[in-house]
Amino acid sequence: MRFRRWCCVILILACFVVSAAAVRAAENFVVPGAPGGLKKPVRPRPDPAAKAGEAARRWVLAVGICKFSDTRIPQLKYCVADARGVVNYFRADGVPAERTSLLVNEDASRESIVRALNRVAGEIGPDDRFFFFYSSHGAGDAAGRTYFITFDTVLDDLAATAIPMSELKKAVKGINCRDVVLMIDTCHSGGAKALERPNEKALDNLLRTANRQTRVAILTSSRTHESSIEAEELGHGAFTYYMLKGLAGESDNFPRDGQVSVTELFDYVMVAVPRATDRAQHPSAKFSYNWPGKKAQAVRIGRVHGAGPPAAGPAPDRGYSPDGGLVPGTRLSAPGTGSEGGHPAAGAGSGSSRWHNVIE
């Protein structure tokens, strides 16, 4: 009996020794034929933060159109710079090139934009976030329909050659992800740089028709009857300039944690743009009913980094410091506007003006 017990003990110890040797051999396994004795890579354990949604993938589509195939549509100056600035931010913050798309001028046809939206819809995951930025003209027709003007839009045939809001609503509805954030820098973008007055209710309808599982936030550059301003001093539209400044850290306030959330950015832009334009332009924000209201659940855009958009280096007597920043207490204002709620003159798009506005 005692002999059997000792045999069992020895057998158990032998099993432990063999198991430990097997583990050690696996750790030091060398790939046959590999130069320098390359070890077999060890599969990393999944990051618990990723399961908690902390590392949700971000997808970005930015569109900027300054020139158009239909020469009757006036050219813009800084829409391409706007879109590039947005993409540069996300790429610097670690979003890989395969999940960021930049469409500008000739590449931003109606078909190309719709194809890019459909690609995102086909590849995005349920816990991911989608950021859509659009800088160009917007238009509304006599029937109250709202359109985004693309490179190949024909002025006489908006329905077939521009992107109607109904198409964007359809695309958003087909994107099954956690969050969709739309940032629209077009004149009269409260409905959406304009040929006719667009219908402001179009964006409200977009919020209502989105998937119930998807949370949607929309930041537009101006109210329905306002112009979205492009400024030579900024090298951007005023809206996008301050949006990029916010992403660079000026909107990181509540809390100041090195991260920029959607609500932090929206709050900052909605104050900074009216202040800088002497109240000529008021961005507006809209949220779906299921957008999280608690700070602890804030939807993160990205980390604070960079110095924001570069300025074009205006003369100091125009209210700017030598490094291109606004001198405290100064305002941007278009010629001929008042200090309270003034609007740029309809003819402010001429080359002699400080402002390069869209069609009224």
Domain-located, residue 183: yes
Is it the case that residue 28 has pLDDT exceeding 70?
A: no
| CA 218 to each of CA 183, 222, 250, 309: distance values in angstroms, whole numbers, following the listed order | 6, 12, 20, 22
Is it the case that residue 318 has pLDDT exceeding 90?
A: no
Q: How confident is the model at residue 46 (pLDDT cuts 50, 70, 90)?
A: very low
Domain-located, residue 35: no
Measured in degrees and rounded to the nearest 5, phi and psi for residue 326 equal -70, 135
Domain-located, residue 27: no
Q: How confident is the model at residue 129 (pLDDT cuts 50, 70, 90)?
A: very high
State in Å, rounded, how far the first CA of the chain is from the last one.
Answer: 103
CATH number where 292 lies: 3.40.50.1460
- CA-closest candidate to residue 126, choices 57, 183, 172: 57
Mean pLDDT of the region 51-71:
83
Give the percent of the chain with pLDDT over 70: 62
Q: How confident is the model at residue 106 (pLDDT cuts 50, 70, 90)?
A: very high
Domain-located, residue 293: yes
Domain-located, residue 179: yes
DSSP 41: P
> For residue 254, what are the domain limits?
56-318
Q: How far is CA 344 from the centre of its chain?
A: 27
User: pLDDT digit string (tens) for 164-196?
Assistant: 988 888 888 889 999 999 999 986 444 334 444
* Encoded amino acid at 51, one letter: K
- CA-closest candidate to residue 150, choices 61, 69, 239, 86: 69
Is it the case that residue 326 has pLDDT exceeding 80?
A: no
The per-residue pLDDT for 71 is 92
User: pLDDT digit string (tens) for 261-274?
Assistant: 999 999 999 999 99
Is it the case that residue 40 has pLDDT exceeding 80?
A: no
pTM: 0.69
Mean pLDDT of the region 100-129:
96
User: pLDDT digit string (tens) for 193-252?
Assistant: 444 444 555 556 655 555 567 899 999 888 777 778 777 888 898 899 999 999 999 998
Regarding predicted confidence, which is higher, 60 or 49? 60
Domain-located, residue 61: yes
The per-residue pLDDT for 205 is 61
- Tell me how far apart the alpha carbons of residues 355 and 352 are, in angstroms, rounded to a whole number: 9
- Tell me how far apart the alpha carbons of residues 319 and 227 are, in angstroms, rounded to a whole number: 22
The per-residue pLDDT for 227 is 76
- The sign of the CA dihedral 188, 192, 197, 199 is negative
How would DSSP label each residue in 211-271? -TTSEEEEEESS-TTSPPPEETTTTEEHHHHHHHHIIIIIT--TT-SSEEEHHHHHHHHHH
Is it the case that residue 316 has pLDDT exceeding 50?
A: no
The per-residue pLDDT for 313 is 38
The per-residue pLDDT for 194 is 42
The per-residue pLDDT for 296 is 65
Helix or strand or coil: residue 63? strand
Domain-located, residue 34: no
**What is the domain count for the chain?**
1
Helix or strand or coil: residue 101? strand
Round the average pLDDT of the chain to a whole number and report it: 73
Helix or strand or coil: residue 179? strand
CB neighbour list of residue 169: distance below 8 Å, 6 or more residues apart = 205, 206, 209, 210
Helix or strand or coil: residue 313? coil
Domain-located, residue 77: yes
